[in-house]
Structure 1
Amino acid sequence: MAFSSSSGQMKHEVFLSFRGEGTRLNFTSHLLKALKHTGINVFFDEDTLEKGDKLSLALSQAISTSNLSIIVLSVNYASSKSCLAELSDIMDRKDTGGHIVLPIFYHVDPSDVWNLAGRFKTSFDDHESEKLDQVQQWQAAFVEVGKLKGWHIEGGKFDR
């Protein structure tokens, strides 16, 4: 079921944030199918974005018009600047507008997220080496989402 916002835009019940590489064709596609099967209106970039849309603006609008975000934190999530920008936007809306955030720790240890350890540390070190202004904001959002109660999926033969 979809709702209209005051600006007349479609309002999604769920914004799904994930790193396509590594999750799109397995866990995330199953999650999307299950959510849609129950009648939940999900913003999924491949289904919803039109060719020619300005990506960052379209994603920010989709986040702001959604009731909650599900964040699939996989081993490569922090390597994506666009995922980190989404996450930062999501966590800002959580803090200021009561946006609900549900993390899924997919094949990652939640403590590695909130401690910025392992591959996450490497990803943030790479972003810092590029001297990007947003890195501190991204790190803060990443650490904050790591501290939220969520689901830890260790994976196995049944997650595909």
Structure 2
Amino acid sequence: MAATSSSSYSSQEKYEVFLDFRGEDTRDRFSGHLYHALRQKHILTYKDDENLESGHEISKIMEAIRESKICIIVFSQDFASSTWCLDEVVRILDCKRDGNDFIITIVYEIDPSIVRKQNKSYAYAFTKHEERFKASMDKVQRWRDALKEVAGLSGHKNKA
């Protein structure tokens, strides 16, 4: 998930990097350090605020994804449990297909095969999503497909 601060976001700002991560897993560790390192290099990076609120903020996030040149996805143990993170992955892939994003994936403190094969904690998360979204199984399938596609990337630029 991603913003320098949602309150400082303006429609004229173009982000160079969108940082997608599960806050509870990595906000105060890896993702936080990565964000600060990028900012020290004067790279305008969108990282979420800890207190994002509902649909209003998610639309700002989706716009930041579209405007960013690079999207970094940090996969961690509980990444797949976040519907926001999964929605962001779908949006990132949509933008990549339009030819305007470079995607870098990082697998943090988890075996990459868990992400690719969607087993262990990822299988558990998807079981929960299937229970919660019984009426929207197409949404869950989009998340699964997007995760599989992105998990197979190690930094990829679409050559449209």
Same fold (TM over 0.5): yes
Letter in 2 for 1:24: R
Residue 32 of structure 1 corresponds to 35
Identity of aligned residues (%): 39
Residue 68 of structure 1 corresponds to 70
How far apart in 1 are the matches of 2:154 and 2:54?
Answer: 36
Change in Cα spacing, 1:8 to 1:102, as seen in structure 2 (3 Å) is: same
TM-aligned CA deviation for residue 97 of structure 1:
2.4
TM-score, scaled relative to structure 2: 0.82
Tell whether 2:15 aligns with 1:12.
yes
Residue 57 of structure 1 corresponds to 59
How far apart in 1 are the matches of 2:52 and 2:31?
Answer: 20
Deviations 1:76-118 (A, max 9, x none): 1000011100111001111222311101100111121111111
Q: List structure 1 segments (4+ residues) > 3 angstroms apart after TM superposition.
A: 49-53
Residue 154 of structure 2 corresponds to 149
The DSSP-based 3-state class of the residue aligned with 2:104 is strand
Letter in 2 for 1:142: L
Deviations 1:3-61 (A, max 9, x none): xxxx95210000000110021111111101110011100011229x9878702211110
Mapping for residues 1-160 of structure 1, pairs under 5 Å: 9-46=12-49, 54-130=56-132, 131=134, 132=136, 133-149=138-154
How far apart in 1 are the matches of 2:141 and 2:52?
Answer: 31
TM-score, scaled relative to structure 1: 0.82
Whichever structure has more helix as a proportion of its residues is 2
How far apart in 2 are the matches of 1:50 and 1:138?
Answer: 21
Structure 2: give runs of 5+ residues left out of the alignment.
1-9, 156-160
Change in Cα spacing, 1:8 to 1:126, as seen in structure 2 (3 Å) is: closer
Structure 1: give runs of 5+ residues left out of the alignment.
1-6, 151-160
